[in-house]
Amino acid sequence: MKIGFLGPKASFTYAAARAAFPDSSHQLIAFDSITEVIRSYEQDLVDFAIVPVENSIEGSVHQTVDYLFLQADDTRAQAEIIQPIKQQLMATSADKKIEKIFSHPQAIAQSLKYVQQYFPDAKIESTDSTAYAAKFVAEHPDKNYAAIAPVASSLEYGLTIIAQDIQEIDENFTRFWLLGHTTPQIPLPVETEKMTLALTLSDNLPGALYKALQIFADFGINLTKIESRPLKTFLGEYFFLIDAQFSENYLYLIHALEKLGITVKRLGKYKVYKM
């Protein structure tokens, strides 16, 4: 079995993929961007794909959400994996005078307070993943570079951790979606069961969103998240991403929404697992 993930090896996504598929017979394949991970699944290059979808501090990973809504045809989440996130500052040696820090934008945002306090003169540069940042720093030992990445990255690329757990908030978690056609057996404890829908309202009339949300209330379905994202058509046009507790009335709910003229895209119904 082949599983695509946002690489390189030792990224947070890699850790989520390995937790979901611990059997060494499963082949984990790294890709350089979230878009490439999802496309690899759509092109049947892998059996499953794992991508980050939301961080508890920085919010949704828009590259994932927007691609699944705007470009993917029938790609759905079959499971969600929640991973606690700890950010480490690492370099090729502990005595480096750090001039530039590399990491994924989410990791940078989560650790910005620490960086501004202790490395106010360091330039910050974004990369496609935390693990890629660590790999890049390891490949340039002559430079005064550092990376923000997980502990696994320091071990994988032979870097020295010069500051531990630099994330601003300790309660830092990232949600990862496992995309696939079927639901695999995942050896992690189940927290709950959810569903995610993307709604496009039929018009911009007053109360249109209220009427949509009233349907959820009528079915007694509790929402856990609602977020608007631009449709990328005209300014002021949005779709609404809704996470809700799973209900056996799932299909009846969708039918009721569609009767109001709402376009519904099903992004997944899935169990939530915690590492």
- Per the CB < 8 A criterion, the answer to whether 79 and 20 are in contact is yes
Q: Which pLDDT does position 47 carry in this prediction?
A: 96
Mean pLDDT of 206-235: 90
Per the listing, tokens 């340039």 go with: 140
Cα angle vertex 242, ends 239, 246, to 5°?
145
Query: pLDDT (tens digit, 9 = 90+) per residue, 162-183?
Result: 999 999 887 889 999 999 999 9
- Calpha distance 226→231 (Å, rounded): 15
Q: Is-cis flag, bond preceding 8, omega within 30?
A: yes
Q: For the chain, what is the total number of helices (H) and then of strands (E)?
A: 8, 15
Q: Which pLDDT does position 220 carry in this prediction?
A: 95
- Calpha distance 143→157 (Å, rounded): 16
Mean pLDDT of 250-257: 95
Q: Which domains does the chain have, with CATH numbers?
A: 2-85+172-180 (3.40.190.10), 87-163 (3.40.190.10), 194-270 (3.30.70.260)
- Per the CB < 8 A criterion, the answer to whether 159 and 91 are in contact is yes
Q: Which pLDDT does position 204 carry in this prediction?
A: 66
Mean pLDDT of 205-214: 87
Query: pLDDT (tens digit, 9 = 90+) per residue, 223-250?
Result: 999 999 988 887 778 899 999 999 999 9
Query: pLDDT (tens digit, 9 = 90+) per residue, 87-137?
Result: 999 999 999 899 999 998 989 998 999 999 999 999 999 998 898 999 999
- Calpha distance 2→23 (Å, rounded): 12
- Looking at the chain, the whole-number percentage of residues with pLDDT higher than 70 is 99
Query: pLDDT (tens digit, 9 = 90+) per residue, 53-84?
Result: 998 878 889 899 898 988 888 899 999 999 99
